[in-house]
Amino acid sequence: MARVPLLEAADLPEEYRYLFTENDVGDAHIFRAMANAPELMRWYMRYSTRLWDVLPEREREIVILATARALEHPYEWHQHVRLGREAGVTDAEITAITDGDLAALDDRDGALVAYARGVALGDPRDADHDRLRAHYDVGTVVGIAMLVSHYVATGRTLDAVDVEPETAFVGWTP
């Protein structure tokens, strides 16, 4: 059970209700918990939206899945398995991320996973940076580091308020 109330749009001051009605937050517990701090939720959503533009959708989901797996964070994993599939990440690729089997991924995807894992665990390696840099410009690499860091912070926030997935956990393997 979450440590904070899981709010609805109607629970918010009028000026913040659009965060639920104009965005696709659905019944996601993450946003219902964040709604307890509506101004911060607004800025969180703006920053998240901007970071989501760093990479094409499929690659972004690979980074988020790799981050969630490195942290062994069930909520983010649970949410992004579905989003990853919708973006074209295959079950075989999801399994490779789960198992840390970078050889099962193409070089770009393997570079994304290795780099995301290193950043998420606080141990980014020069070789992983260089491998990623072979596929992306410097600005994009910095953006990827910021995307990973954002999901580390998101996971820690969810842990702090004890938010769990809305439905039964999908598991680490598809």
DSSP state of 171: -
Closest CA to 116 of 138, 131, 134: 131
Supply the CATH classification number for the domain 57-161.
1.20.1290.10
From residue 111, how far is each of 46, 166, 172 by CA, in Å? 27, 31, 21
- Say how far apart CA 8 and CA 80 lie, in whole Å: 22
How much of the chain is in helix, strand and coil states, percent to nearest 5? 65, 0, 35
pLDDT of residue 1: 82
The pLDDT tens digits of the residues spanning 132-147 come to: 999 999 999 999 999 9
Q: Write the pLDDT tens digit of every residue in 86-106.
A: 999 999 999 999 999 999 999
Check: CB of residue 34 under 8 Å from CB of residue 160.
no
Which two three-digit tokens encode residue 28?
A: 């996601």
Calculate what percentage of the chain has a pLDDT beyond 90.
93
How do residues 44-85 score in pLDDT, each as one tens digit?
Answer: 999 999 999 999 999 999 999 999 999 999 999 999 999 999
pLDDT at 26 over 90: no
Domain ranges of the chain: 12-52, 57-161
